[in-house]
Homo-oligomer: A and B are copies of this chain.
């Protein structure tokens, strides 16, 4: 049994400022496992074994699992358990449609561009370029997501921010089955610069148009390199990868 979970980080009451419950912290580590590719889509999360590995009670674990189900990172089948969600190609297409609608509309509705918003946008672009230089592709992906969050944040709606954050988080599941992620990210990183430049010169309609075609091409690229492992039609009961 893989014992790579770090339960000390869970039980340690690290900071009194953290208002997080134990379940939230368990959800955090599980989320990180999924993003890092330790838990592949389709994998089952057996309550007994995960609870052993994480050192929390089953009640707490179930609470954490439920959080991730609501985030759409896990699916829940009554009586069978929870599994890492597997995106279909249709799911991915749908997610991109949502992004085109929400992100572009948010851009076009921006009233005033606050300096802080522009700074966050530029910072995300620069983070992405730095990550490319270091060939750290996970960090490139993270910076890309931050870029799109910064774009939407220009609209100044906190509710819209959380909304798009949830949608973007689902894309992590798509990356798990993309084989040439480095090619993908390097190919589209330049677009971020173009869009940021259009935003800087206050040409939001151009920025929205650039974003729209960018998302269309990205969708095609993702779908073209998406190879979901069907695992022979049967889901493996193995809890932790291997």
Contacts of A97 in B (CB 8 A): 109, 155-157, 159-160
Copies in the complex: 2
Q: Complex formed: what's the CA distance from A167 to B162 in Å? A: 11
Contacts of A67 in B (CB 8 A): 66, 70
Please tell me the number of chain A residues within 8 Å of chain B, measured between CB atoms.
32
- Is A159 a contact partner of B63 (Cβ separation < 8 A)? no
Contacts of A21 in B (CB 8 A): 78
For A19, the closest partner residue in chain B by CB is B78
**A136-161 contact mask (Cβ, 8 Å, vs B): 1 or 0:** 00000000000000000001111110
- Is A101 a contact partner of B106 (Cβ separation < 8 A)? yes
- Is A109 a contact partner of B101 (Cβ separation < 8 A)? yes
Q: A49: CB under 8 A from chain B?
A: no
Q: A95: CB under 8 A from chain B?
A: yes
For A101, the closest partner residue in chain B by CB is B105
Contacts of A62 in B (CB 8 A): 59, 63
- Is A94 a contact partner of B158 (Cβ separation < 8 A)? yes
Complex interface residues of chain A between 70 and 102 (CB less than 8 A to chain B): 70, 78, 91, 94-95, 97-98, 100-102
**A182-225 contact mask (Cβ, 8 Å, vs B): 1 or 0:** 00000000000000000000000000000000000000000000
Q: Which of A95, A100, A159 has the most CB of B within 10 A?
A: A159
